[in-house]
Amino acid sequence: MYDIIIIGAGTAGLSAAIYGVRAGKKVLVLEAAVYGGQIINTPEIENYPGIKHISGYEFATNLYEQARDLGADVKYEKALSIETQEENKLVKTDSNEYVAKAVILATGAKNRPLGLEKEQELIGRGISYCATCDGGFYRGKVVAVNGGGNTALEDAIFLTSYCSKVYVIHRRDSFRGEEKLLETLKRKDNVEFVLSSVITKLNGTDKLESIIVENKDTKETREIEISGLFIAIGQMPENKDFADVVNLDEKGYIVGEEDCKTNELGVFVAGDTRTKAIRQLATAASDGAIAALAACEYIG
């Protein structure tokens, strides 16, 4: 029997764990994959207040160890359902069942696919969603990054130091990502921007060989030969398992205001998986604190 079960060991979930155990609660964190969430793949963080420079891996590991050292339990099990049993919540995972007084959903978001034919079968054979994980496999090769946010810009900067050439393909002619990152990328001499363009086809059988890119304004198409395509077109939540418990918006995010409460009494939501305007490391940590303290208040 736990006081609080937190589903997800990313920044929001682990921050919630820290606040929960520091409030004297018995806390269990359930994680389906690895701790750290999305930030673990970020090469360098320099916008988290109070920390000048840190890698995503080091940040996530510090956070994980901090939560563990303070007394949070972490189990690597996939949470499949939440049921209300009188005053308590029963959480069923792929291997166990746990009971708690409150649950915090901090399930984050996963990489959005392009949705093109062959995309799934070419994952690991030219298609990747993580430059820091897979960039090293493309040393000296020609690659492309698709997307216009911070992830795409950071990925492209990272890849320019390994790859002979990096195409940056973005569907608009201006970037969503930070100006500072864009300026850094523009200074690289092995980058080519392919703007106002979308990828319409992936070519290759056993491995990716080329992509077809269409300019949205002129409708002209172009074939670009590449060994690797890093897709960085944002994230999407995965909350189908909890759709019978909490309200989801049309994109699948869990509906919750700044107080991190959901429509279900005793179930809270924190981090990128919550309906919100700004999804940043700082706002994920902030949500974790708010959700944990709201859960503590609910438990009494």
Catalytic positions are: 130, 133-134
Alpha-carbon separation of residue 282 from 66, 181, 290 (angstroms)? 17, 19, 12
Residues 6+ apart with CB under 8 A from 283: 271, 276
Residues constituting the chain = 300
Is the separation of the CB atoms in 239 and 250 below 8 Å? Answer: no
Give the shortest CB-77-to-ligand NAP separation in angstroms.
27
Q: How far apart are CA 133 and CA 139, in angstroms?
A: 13
Of the two residues 20 and 148, which places its CB atom closer to ligand NAP in the complex?
148
Distance (Å, whole) CA 114 – CA 146: 9
Q: Which is nearer to ligand NAP, 161 or 263 (CB)?
A: 161
Nearer Cβ to ligand NAP, position 115 or 300?
115
Least spacing, CB of residue 70 vs ligand NAP, in Å: 26
Binding site for ligand NAP (CB under 6 A): 42, 45, 47, 147-152, 154, 171-172, 176, 198, 232-235, 279-280
Residue with Cβ nearer ligand NAP (224 or 295): 224
The nearer residue to ligand NAP, 208 or 267, going by C-beta atoms, is 208
Query: Shortest distance, CB of residue 85 to ligand NAP, whole angstroms?
Result: 36
Using Cβ positions, the residue closest to ligand NAP within the complex turns out to be 149
Q: Do the Cβ atoms of 219 and 226 come closer than 8 Å?
A: no
- Radius of gyration for the alpha carbons in the chain, expressed in angstroms and rounded: 21
- Rounded to the nearest whole angstrom, what is the least distance from the CB of residue 197 to ligand NAP in the complex? 9
Q: How far is CA 284 from CA 39, 232, 252, in A?
A: 11, 20, 18
Q: What minimum distance in Å lies between the beta carbon of 272 and ligand NAP?
A: 8
In whole angstroms, what separates CA 123 from the centre of its chain?
18
**Residue (of 133, 112, 166) closest to 279 by Cα position:** 112
In 11-152, DSSP assigns E strands to 27-30, 73-75, 79-85, 88-93, 97-105, 110-111, 127-128, 142-146
What CA dihedral angle connects 188, 190, 194 and 198, to 10 degrees? -110
